[in-house]
Chains A and B, each alone.
Chain A
Amino acid sequence: MQPHEVEQAAIRRGTMRRWLLSAPALVIIFLASFGPLFVMLAFSVLEKGDYGGVKPWTFSFDGWANVFFQHDIFTGELGFADAHLSIFWRSVRLSIITTALTLVLGFPTAYFIATRPRKTREIWVFLVTIPFWTNLLIRTFAMQEVIRNEGVINTVAMRLGMISEPIQIMYTDWAVLFGMTYVYLPLMVLPLYASMEKLDFRLVEAAYDLYANRFKVLRRIILPLTKPGIIAGSILVFIPSLGAYVTPRVLGGGKNMMLGNLIGLQFGKGNNWPLGAAISITLMVVVMVALLIYVRATARAGGDDRGR
């Protein structure tokens, strides 16, 4: 064998071994996460079964058609599926507002942490991390303590005489909004902090020395330099918000559903698996597009950094 052939054989063996080492992880994910998505794709074009499930080998595009259209129960005419469209719209709207609210709350928080002395910073980050790793259901349930009729907001407002009767917040869109903002806030703070930690605060001081006011410093120095963190945080909050299931179910009750609950419903009481599969795929595509935008945006932001 020629020397380069020996080397090539060694590389091949190396590659082979790496594949073998990765195999268990890849097999697990393929069987219990990635693969099932394709089975779901197949289910979305089958005819729905009479008692849940589907009729095997009976193809039908009803599932997909039902995402946006429905037959009127009384006249049989084809119209837009208003209920679905309103749930789509609610999900997108609440997710966007949640992202905005977490940004408004998270930005000063991240700034606060980043401006602490190095030693205490770690402790503040840790304090954000704890809720991040705490059970989402428990945090959602904890939010109930604040917003229910006998909760903190209503009790305090009544004591202060601002209101005479409790405001109904639970089981409204507001409850879902508050809940999602609360549970996803750490997802915004952590990446924001990561990018703010790298920010050179001498630039901020320099700007003040050059008579920039606070607003100008924020707009011209801090915001552009922390853009990667803002984008990362927004996408990290937006994606789980759009697919949220637990928070709308606990705080929104049965009426204020979001896409996640609509999907869940089709596999439960709704008994329309093809429709549920079709909505799931729609949701997944939206998320993929959001991720693609994110990758593009961070690639550009990264390029800016190098150019500087």
Chain B
Amino acid sequence: MFSFFALYLPMALLVVYAFNAGDSLALWEGFSLRWFVSAWQNDTVQDATIRSVIIAVCAAVLATSAATMAALATTRTRPYRGQTLTYALINQPLMIPEIVTAVALLIVFSRIKVWTDYSGLGYLIAAHTAFCVPFAYLPIRARLESMDLSLEVAAADLYATPWKAFRYITLPLLRPGIIAGFMLAFVISLDDVVITEFVKSGGQDTLPTYMLGQLRRVVTPEINAIATVFLAFSVVIVTAFFLMTRKKT
């Protein structure tokens, strides 16, 4: 029980202080929503939020599509040559410490930036897509493995083309797995600090890197307010994920 108390106490305090009327994190001066309002009106926060969402949506869409295809290739009955290699490569981003991936990407992208003169969000989207792939892959593969293949075989027996069998049989059955994979990828991308911090160009803060930057300065409860909203959003997505994967098993 102590662990649950310990897990939730710091987060609860963080949320409570977001409603502090005073200027400091130290003293409680009554209830107020002023920090939520000030965060809402902060242009930098708005930009960072929009940027975070754009990157997370792009990365999650790309990662989920790629992961779905890869999962279809790796879960069917007969093992094929190169399957182990495919597994290893897909899970590779999970094995390497994040900071190592981050600086390796910094090195590569800094070169590409010099050659192409491009410094848009593309680098961040590419980096996020790569580390989201394994997270999207896991629930999709789990769903595929527990799926009954006889319907698909029946469709083929009835002269459905492979594409039609996929479109009308496999895809609808797989949908919960794909949605779950998408949500995980989305949350993972939204949460990332380290890789974004090293890959981003100037003025490309996402919400987490903005918060990291702010923590070095004098901290006002505005950070708590941002963190609280962020926290609430994650909890909603994770709860949805939990309910969805539970119902189907």
Name which of B31-39, B145-153, B168-176, B229-237 contacts chain A. B229-237
Least CB distance from B1 to A in Å reads 7
Cβ distance B196 to chain A, nearest Cβ, rounded Å: 11
Q: Does A284 contact B (CB under 8 A)?
A: yes
Residues of chain B within 8 A of A15, CB atoms compared: 80-82
Complex alpha-carbon distance, A242 and B117, angstroms:
35
Q: In the complex, are the beta carbons of A36 and B101 less than 8 A apart?
A: yes
Tell me the smallest distance from the CB of A152 to a CB of chain B, in Å.
Answer: 7
Q: How far is the CB of A159 from chain B (nearest CB, A)?
A: 14
Residue contact B6 to A287, C-beta cutoff 8 Å: no
- How far, in whole Å, are A243 and B96 apart by their CA atoms in the complex? 9
Chain B at the A interface: mostly helix, strand, loop or mixed? Answer: helix
Neighbour of B100 across the interface among A18, A124, A246, A283, CB < 8 A: A283
Cα A182 to Cα B6 in complex, Å, equals: 8
Q: Which among A24, A186, A267 is the interface contact of B103 at CB below 8 angstroms?
A: A267
The answer on a CB contact under 8 Å between B70 and A243 is no
Contact B70 A152 (CB under 8 A): no
Contact A145 B103 (CB under 8 A): no
Give residues 142-165 of B contacting A (CB, 8 Å).
Answer: none
Task: Give the size range of A's interface with the partner.
Answer: 35 or more
Given contacts A182-B6, A246-B193, A273-B107, contact A134 B11 (CB under 8 A): yes
- The reply to whether B73 and A280 form a contact with Cβ atoms under 8 Å apart is no
The verdict on A150 contacting B26 (CB below 8 Å), with A264-B99, A280-B99 known, is yes
Contact A141 B14 (CB under 8 A): yes
Query: For A283, what are the chain B residues with a Cβ–Cβ distance below 8 Å?
Result: 97, 99-100
How long is the Cα–Cα vector from A36 to B96 in the complex, in angstroms?
12
Q: What is the distance, in angstroms, from B110's C-beta to the closest C-beta of chain A?
A: 7
The answer, among A21, A23, A130, A138, for a CB contact under 8 Å with B14, is A138
Q: Which of B225-249 contact A (CB under 8 A)?
A: 227, 230-231, 234-235, 237-239, 242, 246
Complex contacts, A19 vs chain B, CB 8 Å: 73, 82
B9 at interface, CB cutoff 8 A: yes
Cβ-defined contact, A134 with B4, below 8 A = no
Q: Which of B108, B129, B131, B238 contacts A39 (CB 8 A)?
A: B108
Is A75 interfacial (CB-CB < 8 Å)? Answer: no
**Does A40 make an interface contact (CB < 8 A)?**
yes
Separation in Å of the A125 CB from the closest CB of chain B?
9
| B90 located at the interface, meaning its Cβ lies under 8 Å from any Cβ of chain A in the complex | yes
Question: Are A250 and B215 within 8 A (Cβ)?
Answer: yes
A40-B103, A135-B231 known; A150 vs B215 contact (CB < 8 Å): no
Known: A33-B96, A134-B238, A137-B208. 9 other contacts (CB 8 A): A19-B73, A21-B70, A22-B70, A28-B63, A28-B126, A28-B130, A37-B100, A138-B211, A250-B215
**Could you show 5 A-B contacts with beta carbons less than 8 Å apart?**
A21-B72, A24-B69, A39-B111, A152-B9, A185-B6
